[in-house]
Chain A
Amino acid sequence: MASASSLPSAVLAEPIEQGNSLWRDAWLRLQKNKLAVFGLWALIVITVLCVAGPWLMRYGYEEQNLDLGASAPSGAHWLGTDTLGRDLLVRLLYGGRVSLAVGLCATFVALTIGVTYGAVAGFFGGKLDAVMMRAVDIMYSLPFAIFVILLMVFFGRNIILLFVAIGAVEWLTMARIVRSQVMAIKKMEFIEAARSLGFGRRRIIFRHILPNVLGPIIVYTTLTIPGVMLLEAFLSFLGLGVQPPMSSWGVLIKDGAEKMEEFPWLLVFPGAMFSLTLFSLNFLGDGLRDALDVRSSKD
Chain B
Amino acid sequence: MAEPILELRDVRTHFPVSQGFLFKRALGTVKAVDGVTLSLGRGEVLGLVGESGCGKSTLARTIMQLLPTTGGAVILEGKNLTTGSAGDVHHIRRDLQMVFQDPYASLNPRMTVFDTLAEPLRVHRVCPATGVPARVAELMQLVGLAPRFMQKYPHEFSGGQRQRIAIARALALEPKIIIADEPVSALDVSIQAQILNLLAQLVRKMNLSLVFIAHDLAVVKHISDRVAVMYLGKIVELGRAADVIERPRHPYTRALVSAIPTPNPDLERTRQRIVLPGDPPSPMNPPSGCAFHPRCPHAREICKSGVPPLFEFEPYREVACVRVEEIANL
- Contact residues of A with B, CB < 8 Å? 1-2, 4, 6-8, 11-12, 14-23, 127, 130-131, 188-190, 192-199, 203, 207-208, 211-212, 294, 297-299
- From the candidates B111, B118, B148, name the one contacting A12 in the complex (CB within 8 A): B148
Question: In chain B between 94 and 145, which residues have their CB closer than 8 angstroms to a CB of chain A?
Answer: 94, 96-98, 100-102, 104-115, 118-120, 123-124, 130, 133-134, 137
Which residues of chain B have C-beta atoms less than 8 A from A8's C-beta?
130, 133
A1 to B104, CA, bound (A): 20
Which residues of chain B have C-beta atoms less than 8 A from A192's C-beta?
61, 66, 98, 100, 106
A2 to B117, CA, bound (A): 12
Can you pick out 27 interface pairs between chain A and chain B where the beta carbons lie within 8 Å of each other? A1-B110, A2-B112, A2-B118, A6-B133, A7-B133, A8-B130, A14-B146, A15-B148, A16-B150, A17-B148, A18-B152, A19-B151, A19-B153, A19-B156, A20-B156, A192-B100, A194-B108, A196-B96, A198-B93, A198-B94, A198-B123, A199-B119, A199-B120, A211-B108, A212-B108, A212-B109, A294-B109
Interface size class of B (residues with CB under 8 A): 35 or more
Quick check: B153 and A14 within 8 Å, CB to CB? no
Quick check: A127 and B169 within 8 Å, CB to CB? no
Quick check: A20 and B100 within 8 Å, CB to CB? no
Given A127-B21, A131-B22, does the pair A196, B109 have CB atoms closer than 8 Å? Answer: no
Nearest A residue (CB) for B150: A16
Given A127-B21, A193-B98, A298-B155, does the pair A11, B137 have CB atoms closer than 8 Å? Answer: yes
B149 close to chain A: CB less than 8 A:
yes
Quick check: B153 and A193 within 8 Å, CB to CB? no
- From the candidates B66, B105, B149, B155, name the one contacting A196 in the complex (CB within 8 A): B66
Nearest A residue (CB) for B90: A198
**Residue from A12, A127, A198 with most neighbouring chain B CB atoms (10 Å):** A198
B173 close to chain A: CB less than 8 A:
yes
Nearest A residue (CB) for B111: A1
Which residues of chain B have C-beta atoms less than 8 A from A189's C-beta?
100-102, 105-106
A255 to B111, CA, bound (A): 52
CB distance from A45 to the nearest CB of B (A): 32
Quick check: B173 and A197 within 8 Å, CB to CB? yes
Nearest B residue (CB) for A192: B66
Given A19-B156, A20-B153, does the pair A190, B133 have CB atoms closer than 8 Å? Answer: no
Quick check: B153 and A22 within 8 Å, CB to CB? yes
CB distance from B96 to the nearest CB of A (A): 8
CB distance from A299 to the nearest CB of B (A): 7
Instruction: Mark B166-202 against chain A: 1 for CB-CB distance below 8 A, else 0.
Output: 1001001100000000000000000000000000000
A11 to B136, CA, bound (A): 10
Quick check: B110 and A298 within 8 Å, CB to CB? no
A199 to B66, CA, bound (A): 12
Which residues of chain A have C-beta atoms less than 8 A from B22's C-beta?
127, 130-131
Given A19-B151, A192-B66, A195-B66, does the pair A208, B108 have CB atoms closer than 8 Å? Answer: yes
A156 to B311, CA, bound (A): 81
CB distance from B126 to the nearest CB of A (A): 11
Quick check: A188 and B105 within 8 Å, CB to CB? yes
Which residues of chain A have C-beta atoms less than 8 A from B152's C-beta?
17-19
Q: Lowest 5 CB-CB distances: which A-B pairs, in order?
A: A19-B152, A198-B93, A189-B106, A130-B21, A189-B100
B41 close to chain A: CB less than 8 A:
no
A14 to B145, CA, bound (A): 13
Nearest A residue (CB) for B179: A196
CB distance from B63 to the nearest CB of A (A): 11
Which residues of chain A have C-beta atoms less than 8 A from B172's C-beta?
197
B147 close to chain A: CB less than 8 A:
yes
CB distance from A282 to the nearest CB of B (A): 27
B217 close to chain A: CB less than 8 A:
no
Which residues of chain A have C-beta atoms less than 8 A from B155's C-beta?
22, 297-299
